[in-house]
């Protein structure tokens, strides 16, 4: 085994194995604005020192290109939740060659929905300015959120405060048109009443449809909805997707009628999961 020098065959194979393994490299608790933090989940980058202080070297990957970035806004009804609620997203997305940036944002009543959208906008700006240092590509950013986070990423895109992003993935929320929602339901109920209040003017102000009706140039959207609340959730999601298409945007809807509101987020990354496959196809299309 002279071709391997002093390493020996077993050591060389061990190194090859370590090269092939792609773990998640976590950069945790980074402040992106006063009092607010984000976590960066990245494919374990060869040649960079990890949090454990180990330099990982890959003879086959030096100079590898920057990877696309998914910025994720968690759920929690606008009133609770944490950037730590990411389910299996880090393992799934990093294995597919994406970087996940999970953000915190202020909660109601500490702030309003305007403040939450502003927090998301600040996080996007931070990522755009800093993510290349972590191996991410600032020119290939996709926004994704579940529940309240789905509403916030839709709002950021509709109000054009997200800048140039490649795509938006709102996963299972009914708050695209709060006037229509209130009319269908008969009242707001928890947690909508806590976040949107009882003033119809605020319902209009914090509905993505308000801005989409008079805007244009929106990024591609992939909407997902579960079977929770049945026809109402489906109608509100399709109604907003159709509005965006009428304004010239690419928009698709994944009908997840067999999922619950929780499982459509919890099952992402699972082998053969239909929602997972749909998102993977969308990400590949918009980030190529």
Give per-residue pLDDT as tens, 219-260. 999 999 999 998 999 999 999 999 999 999 999 999 999 999
Q: Supply the angle between the helices 148-158 and 113-130 in degrees, to the nearest 10.
A: 70
Residue 54, CA distances (Å) to 64, 142, 222 in order? 19, 30, 38
Query: Got the DSSP string for 101-153?
Result: EEE----TTTS-HHHHHHHHHHHHHHHHHHGGGGTEEEEEEEEEEETHHHHHH
The structure's pTM equals 0.88
pLDDT score, position 46: 57
pLDDT score, position 14: 37
Of 19, 38, 228, give the one whose Cα is nearest residue 134: 38
Query: Which tokens go with 209?
Result: 């449809």
Instruction: Give the pLDDT band (50/70/90) at residue 44.
Output: confident
Query: Which tokens go with 243?
Result: 């509005």
The mean-pLDDT minimum among 96-105, 151-160, 184-193 falls in 184-193
Query: Got the DSSP string for 78-92?
Result: TTS--TT--TTHHHH
Mean pLDDT of the chain, nearest integer: 89
Please give the residue that has the higher pLDDT: either 9 or 26: 26
pLDDT score, position 48: 47
Query: Which tokens go with 59?
Result: 């003879």
pLDDT score, position 286: 98
**Is the CB of residue 205 less than 8 Å from the CB of residue 219?**
no
The mean-pLDDT minimum among 34-48, 90-104, 204-218 falls in 34-48
């Amino acid at each position: 085994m002279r071709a391997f020098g002093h390493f020996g065959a077993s050591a060389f194979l061990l190194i090859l194995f370590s090269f092939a393994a792609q773990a998640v490299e976590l950069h945790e608790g980074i402040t992106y604005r006063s009092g607010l933090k984000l976590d960066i989940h990245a494919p374990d980058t060869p040649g960079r020192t990890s949090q454990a202080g180990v330099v990982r070297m890959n003879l086959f990957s030096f100079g590898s290109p920057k990877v696309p970035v998914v910025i994720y806004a968690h759920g929690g009804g606008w009133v609770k939740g944490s950037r730590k609620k990411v389910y299996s997203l880090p393992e799934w997305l990093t294995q597919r060659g994406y970087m996940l940036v999970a953000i915190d944002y202020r909660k109601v009543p500490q702030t309003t929905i305007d403040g939450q959208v502003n927090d998301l906008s600040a996080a996007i700006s931070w990522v755009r300015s800093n993510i290349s240092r972590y191996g991410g590509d600032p020119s290939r950013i996709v926004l994704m959120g579940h529940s309240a986070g789905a509403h916030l990423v839709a709002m950021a895109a509709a109000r054009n405060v997200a800048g140039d992003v490649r795509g938006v993935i709102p996963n299972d929320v009914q708050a695209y048109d709060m006037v229509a929602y209130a009319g269908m339901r008969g009242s707001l109920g928890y947690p909508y009443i806590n976040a949107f209040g009882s003033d119809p003017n605020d319902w209009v102000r914090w509905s993505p449809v308000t801005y989409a009706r008079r805007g244009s140039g929106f990024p591609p959207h992939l909407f997902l909805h579960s079977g929770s609340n049945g026809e109402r959730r489906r109608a509100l999601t399709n109604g907003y997707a159709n509005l965006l298409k009428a304004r010239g945007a690419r928009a698709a809807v994944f009908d997840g009628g067999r999922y619950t509101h929780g499982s459509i987020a919890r099952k992402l990354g699972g082998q053969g999961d239909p929602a997972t496959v749909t998102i993977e196809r969308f990400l590949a299309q918009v980030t190529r």
